[in-house]
Amino acid sequence: EAQVTQNPRYLITVTGKKLTVTCSQNMNHEYMSWYRQDPGLGLRQIYYSMNVEVTDKGDVPEGYKVSRKEKRNFPLILESPSPNQTSLYFCASSHKTATGISYEQYFGPGTRLTVT
């Protein structure tokens, strides 16, 4: 089954304790991205990756790191989490179709992070 998976689905942690949220897709997509969703602010892009070893900042990259060493994986790293990073996080992947640009995005189930 084609899907985007995230782990963990729920995480409660303390300020300053480094954590990684994993994201994996099995569709051989070139593009992957991270979003956060906050009440009243909607969904905002954190980082994206056009392909292996190619990453760039989105709208709200501060406090986050990413890496893309393999095509299927795109982990989100919080080196020193703070309470303002409490949010619902989504990973997404996308591809170009053979007939042209599609960019239809597929989303993972989300990771609810609480930083105390």
Partner 1 sequence: KQEVTQIPAALSVPEGENLVLNCSFTDSAIYNLQWFRQDPGKGLTSLLLIQSSQREQTSGRLNASLDKSSGRSTLYIAASQPGDSATYLCAVLRDSSYKLIFGSGTRLLVRP
Task: Find the part of the chain contacting partner 1 (CB under 8 A) among 13-21, 62-70, 74-82, 97-105.
Answer: 97-105
Strands 10-13 and 111-115: parallel
Which residue lies nearer to partner 1 by CB, 15 or 26? 26
The answer to whether the CB of 5 falls within 8 A of the CB of 24 is yes
- What does the CA dihedral 72, 79, 63, 29 come to, rounded to 10 degrees? 0
Within positions 14 to 53, which residues make up the interface with partner 1, using CB under 8 A? 31, 33, 35, 42-45, 48, 50
Q: How far is the CB of 71 from partner 1 (least distance, A)?
A: 15
Half-sphere exposure for 68 (CA within 13 Å, toward CB): 20
Q: Which residues are at the interface with partner 1 (CB under 8 A)? A: 31, 33, 35, 42-45, 48, 50, 56, 58-59, 90, 92, 94, 100-110, 112
